[in-house]
A = this chain, B = another copy of it.
Amino acid sequence: MSLLVTGSIGIDTVITPHGQADEVLGGSAVYFSFAARHYTPVRLVAVVGEDFPPAFRDVLASAGIDLAGLETRAGSKTFRWTGKYTEDMNNRDTLAVELNVLAETGAKVPPAYADTQYVFLANTHPAQQLQLRSAVPDARLVVCDTMDLWIETARDDLMRTFAAVDGVIINDGEARQLTGRQNLIAAGEDILKMGPRFAIIKKGEHGCMLVTPQSVTSMPAWPTKDVKDPTGAGDSFAGGVLGYLATQEKHDDAALRRSLVHGTVAASFTIEDFSLRRVRNLEKKEIDDRVDKLIHMLRIE
């Protein structure tokens, strides 16, 4: 089934205790696409500037990602971000950020994509998310992310977006900020009252939690000994979740629970190296193998 992602494409510089990567391909839509592409064709909707390196475009194209929705805007520059992780890798400081094209008019969904069945609205202004959502009126499943900035500054817009999606995938800090609830189950339940029928809360190295009207599921992260760079883990997670769901006829609790495994595995590969180094040539067989191992680890006989 067709899966569309709207989000950022960036040129990242990342510093971690394990090294540094300069001016590498990044952004939410990129990490999402590299995880989801193993499950279903991915349509990428994003905007870059005219400085976007052709080599980066080739990386996306050669991965089979549909770039008909990738706008290269003349006179604009690509989003750039420089971040440094703390020793425990659980926090990062933004050292420099140039919004560039992200501060301009947002991406447009090409008319040919109006028939898209599955949609992930990665983090951007919620009014923009809502506009993008209206461009895919027949979608079977629409899921969105958000961030602290919009929770603080654009809450009304965010509530309209939440009312128009099937599910949300956000991190623990955002869930707490959004609901004022310290407890994540309570936070998830409050999110369901805002419209979505499921909430997936990401907890970084501590795994994730799925809250639906029927059930709560906690899942640990895949045990990873050598985390090189956590950048993109959350978007890769979303890519694994949505990619898997796009292969499923039903999106009930059982399917959502299975999707957590695919999200967890997708994130686990991304963090093993900087940027897309680990996932760029990742094979589906490697994913399937780790999915089986994670399910086995969780199966107590």
Binding site for B on A (CB under 8 A): 87-89, 182-183, 185-186, 203, 206-207, 209, 216-227, 254, 257-258, 260-261, 295, 297-301
Q: Is the CB of B225 within 8 A of A186?
A: yes
Q: Are A257 and B220 in contact (CB under 8 A)?
A: no
Chain B positions within 8 Å of A300 at CB level: 257-258, 260-261, 295, 298-299
* Known A206-B203, A218-B207, A220-B219; contact A298-B301, beta-carbon cutoff 8 A: no
In addition to A183-B227, A218-B223, 10 A-B residue pairs with Cβ atoms within 8 Å of each other are A88-B182, A183-B225, A185-B225, A186-B225, A207-B218, A209-B223, A218-B221, A218-B222, A220-B220, A298-B299
Distance in angstroms between the alpha carbons of A88 and B225 in the assembled complex = 28
Question: Which residues of B lie under 8 Å from residue A299 when comparing CB positions?
Answer: 298-300
State the CA gap A256–B203 with chains docked (Å): 26
- Please give me the residue from chain B that is nearest to A216 by CB atom: B223
- Name the B residues within 8 Å of A218 (CB-CB): 207, 220-223, 297
Min CB gap A108→B, angstroms: 38
A261 to B297 Cα, complex, angstroms: 13
In the assembled complex, the Cα of A88 lies from the Cα of B183 at a distance in Å of 8
Interchain Cβ contacts under 8 Å between A and B, 10 examples: A88-B182, A183-B227, A203-B206, A206-B206, A218-B220, A218-B222, A258-B300, A260-B300, A261-B300, A298-B300
User: Shortest distance in angstroms between A60's beta carbon and chain B's nearest beta carbon?
Assistant: 31
- Contact partners of A227 in chain B: CB under 8 A: 183
